[in-house]
Amino acid sequence: MMDVSFYKGKRVFVTGHTGFKGSWLSRILVGAGAEVTGYSLPAATEPNLFALAGLEGKMTSVIGDIRDMSALKKAFDKANPEIVLHLAAQPIVRDSYKDPVYTYETNVMGTVNILECVRQAGSVKSLLNVTTDKVYENKEWEWGYRENEPLDGFDPYSNSKSCSELVTHSYKNSFFADGRVSISTARAGNVIGGGDFANDRIIPDCVRAVQKNEVIVVRNPHSTRPYQHVLEPLFAYLMIAQKQYQDQKFAGWYNVGPDDCDCVTTGELVNLFCKVWGNNASWENRYVGGPHEANFLKLDCSKIKNVFGWQPRWHITDAIKKTCEWTKAWMAGDDIPFIMDRQIDAYRSVI
């Protein structure tokens, strides 16, 4: 079981804290008693999870652009962090085709900027750069990619994250070879959960459709992805950051994804959503065109399992149930911070 009490009183700097993952992560850290500083653009959607999560006043929230080195360094130096969790990114594949320059500036130079802040500071002991399962050169094969496979994402988003990995490797070798800062990257699969309101993601599309009593439109029901509940990688990130803080031998590159049984097609995922949601929810296959996206992608997570004894806790059915539970509570106007804390506690209680 991940013991979050390690984070009590620790100074933690989170980039991208207003995003979907960042909001859940901030809620976990605040609940653990960490001194959290977040640096991010304003939340990209309305509604947004950061506002719903009850985090205002419980952490330091700095609104700024990761591309703005001077603003980032000012916030970073004031926070004087011991642990850095870098999540800030332009995360949408289709948006990366629309604005590749912004995507590369954010995902590559943003990584350079946070690493520069760490390099120039003396307080940091542990840094984790969160990337994606899409960093690998995707050959559409049926077995999972391992951490030593070639990096070469196809689209601007995936490729920019591959570049972010390489930047991290270079900084680690060039400036942190003395071990004063432990550095890792984590390559996570597709995450689902309550509070994701992003465009061009399948579960938010499902939620928007059922809100309007419309049929869910699925543009590529046959694509296979390593879907997992958002709490799975977040607790893995916290575990990696903690372990390498305590012993630098744990620093490295880690895949974080579900077991093979939970790598399902988009169509299977939506079928499960409709079944759990009820109320005659349904979907249709309607390809609407668009740029290239991978059809088949899986991760081999043997390394994180062997090194830490880590195992996924919630299967895909559990993940969908928790997502629907959160969403129905939100639609009913319930206490969202309470719901989030209850789900966090439920996840931690699984043996």
Domains of the chain plus CATH, in order, are 4-349 (3.40.50.720)
Are 127 and 182 spatial neighbours (Cβ–Cβ below 8 Å)? yes
Instruction: Please give the pLDDT value at position 140.
Output: 86
Sorting pLDDT into bands at 50, 70 and 90, what band is 215? very high
Convert the pLDDT of each residue in 31-54 to its tens digit: 999 999 999 999 999 999 999 999
CA 347 to chain centre: 17
What is the pLDDT at residue 211? 96
H helices, E strands: number in the chain = 13, 13
Average pLDDT over residues 312-317: 96
Distance CA(25)–CA(240), nearest Å, equals: 14
pLDDT of residue 280: 95
Q: Cα(321)–Cα(330) distance, rounded to whole angstroms?
A: 14
Give the per-residue pLDDT at 288.
63
The whole-angstrom separation of Cα 109 and Cα 195 is 28
Q: Are 17 and 34 in contact (CB under 8 A)?
A: no
Confidence label for 219 from pLDDT (cuts 50, 70 and 90): confident
pLDDT tens per residue across span 14-24: 999 999 999 99
Q: Do 195 and 330 contact (CB within 8 A), yes or no?
A: yes
pLDDT at 351: 60
Position 336 scores a pLDDT of: 98
Please, what is the angle between helix 20-32 and helix 336-349, to 10°?
Answer: 80
Mean pLDDT confidence for 320-334: 98
CB contact set of 212 (below 8 Å; sequence gap of 6+) = none
Q: What average pLDDT does the segment 267-284 reach?
A: 97
Query: Using CA atoms, how far apart are residues 267 and 290, in angstroms rounded to an integer?
Result: 18
Tell me the CA distances in angstroms from 131 to 84, 202, 246, one per residue in order: 14, 20, 23
Residue 17 CB-density burial (10 A; 0-12 exposed, 13-18 middle, 19+ buried): buried
Backbone angles phi, psi at 164, to 5 degrees: -60, -40
Q: pLDDT tier at 2 (50, 70, 90 boundaries)?
A: confident
> Long-range contacts of range 55-61, CB-CB < 8 Å, 24 or more positions apart?
55/23, 55/26, 55/27, 55/30, 58/30, 59/17, 59/26, 59/29, 59/30, 60/36, 61/17, 61/18
Q: Flag whether the pTM goes above 0.85.
A: yes
Q: Can you tell me the mean pLDDT for 134-151?
A: 93
Average pLDDT over residues 319-328: 98
Residue 287 has pLDDT above 80, yes or no: no
